[in-house]
Amino acid sequence: MVAALAALAGCQSFDRAEYARLTGRGDGRVDGDATARPETGPGNDGGPVACATRMRSGGPGCELAVVPSLPAGLQNTIGATKTFALRRLLLGAGGAWMGIGFDRDGLCTGPGVDGGAPAIACRSPLTLADGMNGRDNAFGSVIGQIGVFGGSFNESDLNNGINNGNATIGFRLRDFGGRDDGSITVEILPLAQGHPAGNPSGPPAWDGRDEWGIHRSLAYGADGRTIRVSTTDAFASCGTVVMPFPNNAPLYFQNDRIRSQLTLTDIRLVGSLDAMGNLTTADLSAVWARNQIFEDLRTFGACQETLSTQEWTTVLLGIAAALDIPASGMPNPASDCSAMSVAFRFELVPVTVTGDVTPPPPAITDPCSAARDAGR
């Protein structure tokens, strides 16, 4: 079993040229590198402000890329409401995973990571090395490489569903004051039926003027009015927006056939703003609890009853290899790992939200049941 897991983890070298090609970063530099951000920046009044800390020491030879924290004295500013939609999802193929996400356990895990000594957050069949600067992204390291989620969970299929206007994820920033703002409300919106302004029959143009509707049955809580997933603890510092979200936050993905979901805990979303105050990219870093993994996998069509024995064994081995962190996020080397660290990169574009919509469900809403009924 250990030999099989080691084979699954074989693609861990970081290719800067490939990273640049996949992410559009021509210099190959990774967000979170010590030189990637200034230590101070201009405030809204023109004076200097302290920037949120993005790196900290994890011990000798270990510099960690951390989720920025709220700088002391950062003022709240009155702002507008802006909505940004996921235009493209990057799962970290080709070694790009090593530059996506953040450290979540305070450790540089694995031998040879940034020159640090081996360290583990919990016991796992295979100790996977972190990405650059201690980034915890076991999903990209193992699961993202072997494609065990069935036909629907891959960059091409997911991004085709987004580009067709079927569905995407929106982030609505309320009272958003720009590059430096101590308090922002952010809502995660399941969006559907995207199209160019004034042309409901066309696919999104991604020109900043597309119109999307809020998926009524997915977006709201029990009262039918309150957005299910939101935070009032977001802030912006020196052109970076930090958005922490509550536990068990569902993220919905849809192509022409299947609506799937990931239910994550301890979500941290960190986005970059351009000169116009628009979010351009954002890294999502979260924890995926073991029990939730198997439940979510079924929505993507990875089900024991529909896969061959070899395919299902690959799924089990991949998950076992990728459990790298306690579900609580707190390191405990004496306990077994109970969750997988997850990180994605989003490319974002401004959009207009036109109101609530009730789109028809995909033709296949439960891929496991559908395959079973087909006699597989």
Report the alpha-carbon distance of residue 244 to residue 221 in Å, rounded. 19
Q: What is the pLDDT at residue 178?
A: 92
Report the alpha-carbon distance of residue 46 to residue 247 in Å, rounded. 37
- What percent of the chain has pLDDT above 90? 47
* More reliable by pLDDT, 21 or 293: 293
The candidate with the shortest Cα–Cα distance to 188, out of 136, 128, 231, 155, is 231
> For the segment 226-269, what is each residue's pLDDT rounded down to a tens digit?
999 999 999 999 999 999 998 888 999 887 778 888 999 999 99
Instruction: Name the residue range of residue 309's domain.
Output: 2-373
Task: Give the number of domains in the chain.
Answer: 1
> For the segment 34-87, what is each residue's pLDDT rounded down to a tens digit?
333 444 555 555 556 678 888 888 777 788 999 999 998 899 999 999 999 999
Type of residue found at 21: R
Q: What is the pLDDT at residue 259?
A: 84
CB 127 within 8 A of CB 109: yes
Q: What is the pLDDT at residue 41?
A: 56
The candidate with the shortest Cα–Cα distance to 77, out of 187, 186, 178, is 178
Residues 6+ apart with CB under 8 A from 157: 151, 255
Report the alpha-carbon distance of residue 279 to residue 193 in Å, rounded. 22
Residue with tokens 């299929």: 157
